[in-house]
């Protein structure tokens, strides 16, 4: 799934793939076994909180880029993440240090529980799509400058696909982050920032096997 697009301006007004370099999101060297495929890419997205307080959810739209942050024209991503507002306070709570040895139990999972499930659609162009669903775990930490750094990770299972991905099985994971220059201490002001919308940059990996190789 490569696109050779030397120096072309993308339809978002940004710079396309740098001259002399072919963009690719396929990474066969890190697959295992004869029929696994691996996609690795980023996405630049806009998120906003909607439906608050009765039925709150985050809605997300964006475009796919390669790992050099160059936009791949004709691509898109969409995500929906319903939210329980009672769990908003948990995003600033972090896990306790784990005991050694790290390759043996016990595991202390305090403050690592997902606060909801999201569905993610990846459109690679030419009717080639992958949809995945799974638990999401957001975390936020305050910064000395009065701002905040935000992260969210999702472990998704492929639910469906179209085009070359129709009937594929596998899993998709992503880790996204956002930066807030100013983060207020009161929740009503925080909600206003989330409702106004913010930018997030996400790194994504999908490992899958095509329908033709399944029993």
pLDDT, mean of residues 188-203: 96
- Asked if 184 and 144 touch (Cβ cutoff 8 Å), the reply is no
Considering the four listed CATH numbers 2.40.350, 2.40.50, 3.30.70, 3.40.50, the one that applies to the domain covering 34-88+112-210 is: 2.40.350
pLDDT, mean of residues 102-130: 96
Q: What is the pLDDT of residues 27-56, one digit of tens each?
A: 999 999 999 999 999 999 999 999 999 999
Res 148: pLDDT: 98
Domain boundaries, the chain: 34-88+112-210
Q: What is the mean pLDDT of the chain?
A: 91
Res 20: pLDDT: 54
Angle among Cα 173, 179, 181 to the nearest 5 degrees reads: 170
Residue 55, burial from CB neighbour count under 10 angstroms (0-12, 13-18, 19+): exposed
- Asked if 103 and 71 touch (Cβ cutoff 8 Å), the reply is no
Res 5: pLDDT: 32
Q: What is the pLDDT of residues 138-182, one digit of tens each?
A: 999 999 999 999 999 999 999 999 999 999 999 999 999 999 999
Chain centre to alpha carbon of residue 73:
19
Res 87: pLDDT: 87
Is pLDDT at 7 greater than 50 in this prediction? no
Please give the share of the chain, as a percent, with pLDDT higher than 90: 85
pLDDT, mean of residues 180-208: 96
Q: What is the pLDDT of residues 48-94, one digit of tens each?
A: 999 999 999 999 999 999 999 999 999 999 999 998 888 888 999 99
Global pTM value: 0.88
Residue 60, burial from CB neighbour count under 10 angstroms (0-12, 13-18, 19+): buried
Res 190: pLDDT: 94
């Amino acid at each position: 799934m490569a696109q050779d697009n030397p120096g072309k301006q993308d339809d978002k007004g940004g710079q396309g793939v740098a001259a002399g370099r072919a963009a690719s999101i396929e990474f066969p060297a890190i697959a295992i076994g004869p029929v696994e495929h691996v996609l690795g890419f980023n996405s630049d997205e806009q998120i906003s909180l909607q439906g608050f307080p009765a039925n709150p959810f985050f809605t997300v739209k964006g475009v796919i880029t390669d790992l050099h942050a160059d936009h791949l024209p004709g691509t898109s991503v969409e995500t929906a993440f319903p939210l329980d507002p009672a769990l908003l306070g948990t995003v600033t709570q972090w896990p306790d240090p784990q005991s050694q040895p790290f390759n043996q139990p016990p595991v202390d999972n305090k403050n690592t529980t997902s606060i909801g499930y999201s569905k993610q659609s990846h459109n690679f162009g030419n009717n080639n799509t992958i949809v995945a669903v799974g638990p999401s775990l957001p975390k936020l930490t305050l910064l000395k400058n009065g701002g905040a750094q935000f992260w969210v990770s999702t472990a998704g299972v492929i639910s469906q696909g179209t085009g070359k991905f129709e009937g594929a099985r596998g899993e998709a994971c992503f880790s996204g982050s956002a930066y807030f220059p100013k983060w207020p201490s009161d929740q009503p002001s925080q909600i206003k920032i989330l409702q106004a919308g913010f930018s997030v940059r996400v790194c994504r990996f999908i490992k899958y096997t095509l329908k033709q190789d399944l029993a």
